[in-house]
Amino acid sequence: MSSTETITVGIGALSAEDVVAVARHSLKVNIGADSIDAMEASRAVIEALVSDPTPHYGVSTGFGALATKHIPVEQRTQLQRSLIRSHAASSGAEVDREVVRGLMLNRLSTMATGRTGVRPVVARTYAAMLNAGITPVIGEYGSLGCSGDLAPLSHIALALMGEGEVRNNDGVLSPAAAALADAGIEPVELREKEGLALINGTDGMLGMLILASADLHLLLRTADLAAAMSVEGLLGTDGVFAEDLHSLRPHPGQIVSAANIRSVLAGSKLIREHSSAEDSAHRFTRVQDAYSLRCAPQVHGAARSTLTHVESVAAIELGSAIDNPVVTVDGRVESNGNFHGAPVGYALDFLAIAVADVASMSERRTDRFLDKARNHGLNPFLAHDPGVDSGHMIAQYTQAGIVSELKRLAAPASVDSIPSSAMQEDHVSMGWSAGLKLRRALDGLTRVLAIEILTAARALDMRDGGVPTSRSSPAIHAARVELRKVVEGPAADRYLAPEIEAARVLVDSGAMVAAVERVVGLLN
């Protein structure tokens, strides 16, 4: 999608594709006229409460455990400013630009519903910051995933006020005031309730969920490709992927995965020749392939089903107005608990489990290639000269180390809770932490699949003499050709880390899947 295109943020829900486009590809945004009208109407409700002697949370009171404190009119601008300054308390490594932009867009989307009581100028300034590529600097620690992603969102609001640090569109670190001035954007002085409205949301964890879902769609297609390459390289059977077998247990994700693997293996001379040789010699050395080969559609399919559920959660969240208090359609200002991140936190944790299991199965397939007792005639560790050379022995160690970490990352963040705000906020979701660890898990899965593809391609080259004499299926031949553009074929041991990285880049960019899809059409 071109970065010159624009989407309209309005009362209707954004799509996940919109979020990815703005967060990752710098799509421009504008605000719909319907949203401007709705914001003006809800702002009028807040303005009417300014002089009301009855306390209203976020308008005339303190926050959290300090909500019993009445704030006089003359201190309410300072109240909002102090809220943002004190809550912009993140620490640690800088959060990725795309996560910050996703967070900003999701908060803008909630403002655009007209249920938060902010003035249109606040939303317009948010949009202007996104369009100018101004990205506030946020540390990875600071959100408990309840009462909103408080610290991350506060850093955005701080930049809106012209304070704190940001990165400009070129990634250069700059004071927020200078970056706003360079972009011709006026800082905003926040008024009653506006500071609170900018920080009460699940926007950061939701953005991470949406970005992770987009990444996992590609990685699951890549996992099907890797499994097919391993089946072929280990002289397995493609019979177990037959459509009628999977219709007996018709989980949708499993059916999709089996269909992908069938497409990638279609026309494999290696599989046909091996099967014919066994039949003609009446040799039945293997009645069944190992689980890591035979059951790939069941595991990859279960991951797809998990992803389908997670995307349904994200779709509901994208269509929600998350704030506290909220201005209802009939003009009431009501406290609520919709900022609690449990629905998103659970979804993030669920995906981390699926990611770990897909990677675990990939590592097991790789390991089979390296064991002479199980690789059906290949050299130990796929070494060029075993003993002198070690081949891919330590590449599997790298995979194993990653998989071990992925198992730790699969431990759910959302089962933890640390009370905060003097026990007013006594149960929190840890959804932000779940999002950060899922992003690390996806990076690990990318690397694990890259090593499997690298290993399977080496095994296939050793088995059939290399790409020029390839007996692979047309799809796997295309994958091998793509890999050989950046990694040489089997020979004496070479510096292996750059080859793993080159394969990772091909997987991460989608180039490996694209090479296959040019042959067989789109995988699902």
Burial tier of 11 (Cβ tally within 10 Å: 0-12, 13-18, 19+): middle
**Closest alpha carbon to 233 in 41, 485, 460:** 460
Q: Fill in the amino acid letter for 286.
A: R
User: What is the C-alpha to C-alpha distance for residues 385 and 367, in angstroms, rounded to an integer?
Assistant: 19
Structure tokens at 183: 């972009």
What is the number of H-type helices and E-type strands within the chain?
20, 9
User: What is the C-alpha to C-alpha distance for residues 410 and 315, in angstroms, rounded to an integer?
Assistant: 23
The catalytic residue positions are: 57
Q: What letter does residue 9 receive in the DSSP assignment?
A: E
End-to-end CA distance of the chain: 20
Question: 3-state DSSP call for residue 42?
Answer: helix
- Alpha-carbon radius of gyration of the chain: 27
**Closest alpha carbon to 372 in 362, 387, 357:** 387
Contact 225, 513 (CB under 8 A): yes
Contact 59, 192 (CB under 8 A): yes
Structure tokens at 239: 């019979």
Structure tokens at 349: 């944790």
Buried-exposed string 27-43: b where 16+ CB fall within 10 A, e elsewhere: bbbebeeebbebbeebb
User: What is the C-alpha to C-alpha distance for residues 9 and 32, in angstroms, rounded to an integer?
Assistant: 6
Q: How many Cβ atoms are within 10 Å of 127's Cβ, its own excluded? A: 20
Q: Torsion angle, CA of 306/307/312/313, rounded to 10 degrees?
A: 80
Cα diameter, the chain: 94
* Cα within 13 Å of Cα(101), Cβ side: 27
**Closest alpha carbon to 361 in 294, 307, 411:** 294
